Amino acid sequence: MIRNYDKLIFELSKEGRMGYSLPKNEFEGYCMCCGIPAHLKRETTPELPQVTEFDVVRHYTNLSNKNFGVDTGFYPLGSCTMKYNPRINEEMAAHPAFTQLHPDAPTECAQGALEVYYNLAASLSELSGLSAFTLNPYAGAHGELTGLMIMRKYHMLRGDHKRTKVIVPDSAHGTNPASAAVCGLQIVEVKSTAKGTVDVEALKPLLDDTVAGIMMTNPNTLGIFETEIPEIAKLVHECGGLLYYDGANLNAVLGKCRPGDMGFDIMHINLHKTFSTPHGGGGPGDGPVGVRAGLEHLLPNPQVKKNEQGIFYLTTDEESAGCVSGFLGNFAVIVRAYTYILTLGRENVKMVGPLAVLNANYVKESLKNEYYLPIEGVCKHEFVFDGLADKSTGVTTLDIAKRLLDYGYHAPTIYFPLLFHQSIMIEPTETESKETLDEFIAVMKKVAQEAAETPDVVKAAPYNTPVRRLDETTAARFPKTTYKQMKG
């Protein structure tokens, strides 16, 4: 049975019902019933649902409970790193000293906030082995664009205008070629080997004096560590290009190795993945960009600096790649990331990578009889199955993802990377307990068993969600959000 408060708020509307009334305004020139100045009042009443306050409270509270989040259940979304966000992060981010600071406040009134920015940038430099960071970009993709603008500016300032190509591996996250295109660069794809790593032999013929650089993700989107990086770095640098590191999910290597030491020149990090801020539906995020020594002046304006007296100030550099954001990044995300690093401390940050890798390998090895593992061997923080081991019943990756919703799990990333037809990409993260992983493994095995014994049950899933299978594109592109659209 559909409960009243499971309905859409529009459906609860009853002519003349009211949730709230304002005191009568008896002054001249104002509307008696709502107090709005008469000349500002609409001529016709807007079409809004007419409901009681109680209806509204129940409606939105129940709606919030239908939302799946990392606080409600396991979220094994590969390539997205949905990890636990300690509550102290939220407390710090909500501190009035930060939330009530005006973005245009003069720097002498914003010293504390600038110190947080400066110290986080310094921590990221140390963790990644790069010389300097900007925290200004608002997301991973925005960081990629910023990094590529730096790459382009670097070549331009040397008068090397021919370099318009960026090499991107076929396993790359979709934002890599998209950012390169937005930056006005041409994309050249390099193939992966059967082991899932960049094919050095395929790379060699692509390297010439038109190459601006290469974008790499390590571990790559298959969760595999790129072992040929020293060779790749040598080849790309010899041809005059730069190496860009997509460090969206840096948790696999945190505390173990550093992109700067591998030979990378520019990188971005997703604070909203590696450093805990949960994200969904496009935000909130922050995508700091780091550069090796010698490229610092190309970072976007403004930059946060500290003088000898310990005073923080902003600088702009004429040679900078530009300005990429209105203010100094997504500040609340910066506060959360800084809090996260401080609460872990130097010792525990080193455990992030090993635990992320252990958890991923534990899940992978436990499920590889039921699900087809196209690339064997030790993975890093995530791994990819190519559908079920037994595909004879026609149960697809989409069916498996839908069935997991019935069991209270967020679906893994599906149909990405594009290297396989039935990709299921799983990232447990370092913050889950063995018990949670064991439960997930048991459910994944159960779904595989159902697929073999009662495939039609899996093909028609989900059953327990508020809505069943949707046309997801239409639902996302053309949501009906107003009373008028509902009625029309």
Ligand X SMILES: *Cc1c(COP(=O)(O)O)cnc(C)c1O
Least separation in angstroms between residue 444's CB and ligand X is 22
Q: Where are the beta strands (DSSP E) in 201-355?
A: 211-217, 242-247, 266-269, 289-291, 303-306, 312-315
Contacts of 469 (CB under 8 A, 6+ apart): 402, 462
The window from 133-141, 222-230, 353-361, 479-487 that contacts ligand X (CB under 6 A) reads 133-141
Residue list 198-217, contact with ligand X (CB under 6 A)? 217
Residue range at the interface with ligand X (CB under 6 A); choices 24-32, 43-51, 139-147, 349-357? 139-147
CB closer to ligand X, 142 vs 364: 142
Closest approach, Cβ 340 to ligand X, in A, equals 17
Cα-based distances in Å from 76 to 91, 424, 469: 26, 10, 20
**Least distance from ligand X to the Cβ atom of residue 172, Å:** 8
Taking the least distance from each CB to ligand X, the nearer of 125 and 249 is 249
Q: How far apart are CA 222 and CA 247, in angstroms?
A: 14
Residue 132, H or E segment: strand 132-134
CA distance 453 to 430: 34
Compare residues 330 and 397 and give the one whose CB is closer to ligand X: 330
Which residue in 70, 110, 116, 141 binds ligand X (CB under 6 A)?
Answer: 141
- Considering only 85, 89, 218, 270, the residue that binds ligand X (CB under 6 A) is 270
Minimum CB distance to ligand X, residue 54 (Å): 39
Q: Strand, coil or helix: what is 31? A: coil
Q: Residues 137, 140, 278, 353: which binds ligand X (CB under 6 A)?
A: 140
The site string for ligand X over 237-266 (x = CB under 6 A, - otherwise) reads ---------x-xx-----------------
CA atoms within 13 A on the CB side of 239: 25
Cβ-closest position to ligand X: 140
Half-sphere exposure of 301 (CA within 13 A, CB side): 9
Q: Which is nearer to ligand X, 147 or 285 (CB)?
A: 285
| Candidate residues 13, 89, 128, 175; the one interacting with ligand X per rule CB under 6 A | 175
Coil vs helix vs strand at 291: strand
Q: Which member of 285, 288, 329, 353 binds ligand X (CB under 6 A)?
A: 285
Residue closer to ligand X by CB (options 144, 370) is: 144
CB of 213 to ligand X, least distance (A): 16
CA 200, 202, 204, 210 torsion-angle sign: negative
Q: Which is nearer to ligand X, 81 or 89 (CB)?
A: 81
Based on the number of CB atoms within 10 Å of its own CB, is 455 exposed (0-12), middle (13-18) or buried (19 or more)? Answer: middle
Quickly count: other Cβ atoms within 10 Å of residue 284's Cβ.
Answer: 19
Q: What residues contact 466, with CB distance under 8 A and at least 6 apart?
A: 6, 66
Q: Measured on CA atoms in the order 118, 119, 124, 126, is the torsion positive or negative?
A: positive
Interaction pattern, residues 351-390, with ligand X; x per rule: CB under 6 A: ----------------------------------------
Total chain residues near ligand X (CB under 6 A): 15
Of positions 70, 92, 139, 304, contacts ligand X by CB under 6 A: 139
The residue type at 31: C
Residue closer to ligand X by CB (options 213, 287) is 287
Q: Among residues 285 and 462, whose Cβ is nearest to ligand X?
A: 285
User: Please, is 392 exposed, middle or buried when counting C-beta atoms within 10 Å of its C-beta (0-12, 13-18, 19+)?
Assistant: exposed
**Residue of the chain from 13, 79, 171, 303 that contacts ligand X (CB under 6 A):** 79
Handedness of CA 474, 479, 480, 485 (dihedral sign): negative
Nearer of residues 12 and 411 to ligand X, judged by Cβ: 411
**Residue 459 is inside which H or E element, if any?**
helix 455-459
Nearer to ligand X, 13 or 179 (CB): 179
For ligand X, give the closer residue by CB, 174 or 322. Answer: 174
Q: What are the structure tokens assigned to 302, written together? A: 């403004």
Single-letter amino acid, residue 235: L
Cβ 274 to ligand X shortest distance, Å: 10
Residue 402 interacts with ligand X (CB under 6 A): yes or no: no
Cα–Cα separations (whole angstroms), residue 264 to 62, 90, 118, 182, 230 = 48, 33, 22, 22, 10
Of the pair 172, 291, the CB lying nearest ligand X is at 172
Shortest distance, position 222 Cβ to ligand X, whole Å:
11
Q: Where does this chain bind ligand X (CB under 6 A)?
A: 79-80, 139-141, 173, 175, 217, 221, 246, 248-249, 270, 285, 287
